[in-house]
Copies of this chain bind each other. A is one copy, B any other.
Amino acid sequence: MTASSPFPPAPHPADPEPRVPPATLASLYARPGFKLRRAHQIALSVFADECRAFEITSTQYGILVALRERPGLDQVGVAQALGLDRSTTGMVVGLLEGRGFLRRDQHATDRRRRVLTLTEEGARLVEAIAPAAERARRRLLAPLSPEEAEALAALLDRLLGHHDALVRVPLMRPGD
């Protein structure tokens, strides 16, 4: 809360901040965060479109995949495996449980935990979605050549790797 003077940005020679020209819409469009928001929006949209028949979101799909590979994870394990918040995970897991795709049972010894496993139907679903998910991936990357797609993946990996510790929920391969 530094700005309480009636005069907006009077030139301050002693200001350590370099002069920053006023933001314009064009500069907004050029911001990487802006592009990433749009790209994410598009990725969600393409996935939802391809998986329309299953009425499932990419987040829900991620949880099913994680449980298919590692049955018996608890919610925190799922959250860490996918880089999700604990609360978010709890909500989405509750959704999937309500739709009968997974079960939550008490852990044998640690009663704080709920052990998550796919139901038969959940296992069937995650298998059935695979082609649609693959279609979504290809469609999202369609505008890029294979080399460009590779380059994009590499650049994003650089970004993620360096900022991983920064985000509250770093990605964590469970069980290794």
Contact = CB atoms under 8 A, between A and B. Distances in A.
A48 to B, nearest CB: 11
A130 B22 contact: yes
Interface in A138-176: 140-144, 148-149, 151-153, 155-163, 166-168, 171, 173
B35 A157 contact: yes
A137 interface: yes
Interface string A44-71: 1111011111100010001001101110
Contacts of A132: 8
A123 interface: yes
A126 interface: yes
Task: Give the interface residue-count category, chain A.
Answer: 35 or more
Copies in the complex: 2
Interface of A: 1-3, 5-9, 17-18, 20-25, 27-47, 49-54, 58, 62, 65-66, 68-70, 81-83, 123-137, 140-144, 148-149, 151-153, 155-163, 166-168, 171, 173
B35 A37 contact: no
Contacts of A157: 35
